[in-house]
Amino acid sequence: MTTSQTTTEEISNEMPTVEMEPQDVSRRIPYPPPTPYPMMGAASTEEMPSFAMDGENLGGYSQYGVAATSGAENRLDVFTIGKDSAMYHKKWDGSTWSDWERLGGYCISAPASVSRGGNRIDTFVIGGDRSVYYKYWDGSTWSDWLNLGGYSQFGVAAASWGENRLDLFIVNWDGAMYHKYWDGSIWSDWEKLGGYCISTPAAVSWGLNRIDTFALGSDRAVYHKCWDGSNWVGWEKLGGYSQYGVAATSGAENRLDIYIISRNGAVYHKWWDGSNWVGWDNLGGYSIAAPAAVSSQANRVDSFVLGSDRAVYHKWYSVAD
């Protein structure tokens, strides 16, 4: 990954009109008071390889976190933000990893990525004005950056429940989660979904017209809200304690896998088996940012974290029933 400073003309730093108005936050999720856990310091080089030795070091250097998606079986696309605040991309073609490719932009959050069809990738970041910006791969070229408005305290999450459908989620200045979608022809306005969140949300779809979202509450536990095809349902408390955020993926219909970084810096995993939530399981390792997770084939999850050297590390798991 090239780390020299270059002009970042792709995304303007000028503040556009913010599309969300301040909202009444009196109906916050009734969280208990937060427990004062100590934050973890940076790991030494000797501490970090508990994850890296049985995983894979993909190199690079990330300021924030990592995003991952899969547009086809045994295909992986990974995104991160380099030292120059530009977005970078690395892909697995089924046999080898590419080099890191610079996609430009000026980003102040970890990216988000999703695939809504064969050889199609949609990526999202927060720009210098805290609006959501969008860049996509159409199968042959990368688009320019498009400003989708909004105002995000943290980052952005993206999911797709059908071809040519996109759903975005951010946390606004009032701590509530907001939603915007692409229906195949136009973008909707931002819709308030409520809650009080202290992290970038996560979002995933395991079936047609189904979306599951996750965020951290003020107690740093994971909370869950879903779209069941006709209504938003939740919030449901799933517990855990996360230093950063949460990642979510689905390897099969009615299956959900979520990942967090706990107070000890290790990766923890909880899953929905179709009828019950199971876990949390300690998967070990040491990460300094929220993880990313994606399913590149049935019953398989590929996870990505940042090590204490700020490089991207990769590890995959079988999630067969």
Nearest to 56 by CA among 319, 235, 314: 314
Q: How confident is the model at residue 4 (pLDDT cuts 50, 70, 90)?
A: very low
Write phi, then psi, for 50 (nearest 5 degrees): -60, -30
Domain region containing 211: 62-318
Identify any residues that bridge with 69 across adjacent strands, giving them in sequence order.
77
pLDDT of 26 > 80? The answer is: no
Q: How many helices and strands in the chain, by DSSP H and E?
A: 1, 24
Nearest to 80 by CA among 49, 52, 113: 113
Q: What is d(CA 288, CA 269) in angstroms, rounded to the nearest whole number?
A: 16
Q: How confident is the model at residue 320 (pLDDT cuts 50, 70, 90)?
A: low
Which residue is it, tokens 């070229």?
A: 141
Does some domain include residue 49?
no
Does some domain include residue 106?
yes
pLDDT recorded at residue 321: 54
In this structure, what CATH number is given to the domain that contains residue 83?
2.120.10.70
44, exposed or middle or buried, with CB in 10 Å at 0-12, 13-18, 19+? exposed
Write phi, then psi, for 51 (nearest 5 degrees): -90, -45
Q: What is d(CA 268, CA 266) in angstroms, rounded to the nearest whole number?
A: 6
Tally the domains of the chain: 1
Q: Tell me: the pLDDT tens digits for 133-157?
A: 999 999 999 999 999 999 999 999 9
Q: What is the DSSP string of 3-59?
A: -S----TTS--S-PPPS------TT---PPPPP-PPPP-PPPTTTTHHHHTTSEEEE
Does some domain include residue 225?
yes
Does some domain include residue 149?
yes
Does some domain include residue 50?
no
Does some domain include residue 125?
yes
Q: What is d(CA 295, CA 97) in angstroms, rounded to the nearest whole number?
A: 17
Average predicted confidence (pLDDT) for the chain: 84
Does some domain include residue 260?
yes
Q: Is the pTM of this model over 0.85?
A: no
pLDDT of 116 > 70? The answer is: yes
Percent of the chain with pLDDT over 90: 72
Identify any residues that bridge with 113 across adjacent strands, giving them in sequence order.
123
Q: Are 71 and 114 in contact (CB under 8 A)?
A: no
- Residue 164's region, left for phi above 0, alpha for psi from -120 to 50, else beta, is left
Q: Are 289 and 303 in contact (CB under 8 A)?
A: no
Q: What is d(CA 87, CA 166) in angstroms, rounded to the nearest whole number?
A: 20
Q: Are 203 and 158 in contact (CB under 8 A)?
A: yes
Does some domain include residue 254?
yes
Q: What is d(CA 12, CA 1) in angstroms, rounded to the nearest whole number?
A: 23
